[in-house]
Chains A and B, each alone.
Chain A
Amino acid sequence: MSQNEKTNWPLWEVFIQSKPGLSHKHVGSIHAADAQSAIENARDVYTRRSEGTSIWVVPANAISASSPDDEGEFFEPANDKVYRHPTFYNIPKGVKYL
Chain B
Amino acid sequence: MDENILLENFQKKVDAEIKVEPKDWMPEKYRKTLIRQISQHAHSEVVGMLPEANWLTRAPSLRRKMILLAKIQDEAGHGLYLYSSAETLGADRQDLIEELLSGKAKYSSIFNYPTLTWADIGAVGWLVDGAAIMNQVMLTRASYGPYARAMVRICKEESFHQRQGFEIVANLANGTPEQKEMAQDALNRWWWPSLMMFGPTDDNSPNSALSMKWKIKRKSNDELRQDFIDRTVQQAEAIGLTVPDKDLKWNEEKGHYDFGTINWDEFFEVIKGNGPCNQERLSARQEAYNKGSWVREAAKAYAAKKQVSKAA
**Within 8 Å of chain A (Cβ to Cβ): is B270?**
no
Residue of B nearest to A1 (CB): B92
With A and B bound together, what is the CA distance between A49 and B159 in angstroms? 13
Q: A11-B87, A48-B73, A68-B21 are in contact. Are A37 and B81 (CB under 8 A)?
A: no
Provide the residues of chain B in CB contact with A9, threshold 8 Å.
296, 299-300
Count of chain B residues near A, Cβ 8 A: 29
Interface of B is mostly: helix
Q: A9-B299, A68-B23, A69-B25 are in contact. Are A4 and B87 (CB under 8 A)?
A: no
A4 touches B81 (CB 8 A): no
**8 Å CB interface, B62-111 against A:** 70, 73-74, 77, 80-81, 84-85, 87-88, 92-95
Provide the residues of chain A in CB contact with B150, threshold 8 Å.
28
With A and B bound together, what is the CA distance between A37 and B302 in angstroms? 11
**Within 8 Å of chain A (Cβ to Cβ): is B252?**
no
With A and B bound together, what is the CA distance between A48 and B303 in angstroms? 25
Q: Which of A11, A28, A34, A44 contacts B302 (CB 8 A)?
A: A34
Q: How large is the interface on A (under 10, 10 to 19, 20 to 34, 35 or more residues)?
A: 20 to 34
A28 touches B24 (CB 8 A): no
Chain A window 25-56, contacts with chain B (Cβ cutoff 8 Å), 1 for yes, 0 for no: 00111111110010000001100110000000
Q: A28-B150, A30-B84 are in contact. Are A8 and B306 (CB under 8 A)?
A: no
Taking the nearest CB of chain A, how far is it from the CB of B67, in angstroms?
14
In the complex, besides A32-B299, A37-B303, 20 extra interface pairs with C-beta distance below 8 angstroms are A1-B92, A4-B94, A7-B94, A7-B296, A8-B92, A8-B93, A9-B300, A27-B153, A28-B84, A28-B149, A28-B150, A28-B153, A29-B88, A30-B84, A31-B93, A33-B302, A34-B302, A34-B303, A44-B77, A45-B77
Q: Which residues of B contact A (CB under 8 A)?
A: 21, 23-25, 70, 73-74, 77, 80-81, 84-85, 87-88, 92-95, 146, 149-150, 153, 157, 296, 299-300, 302-303, 306
Q: Which residues of A contact B (CB under 8 A)?
A: 1, 4, 7-9, 11, 27-34, 37, 44-45, 48-49, 65, 67-69
A–B pairs, 13, beta carbons within 8 Å: A4-B92, A4-B95, A8-B93, A9-B300, A11-B93, A27-B153, A28-B149, A29-B87, A29-B88, A45-B80, A65-B23, A68-B24, A68-B25
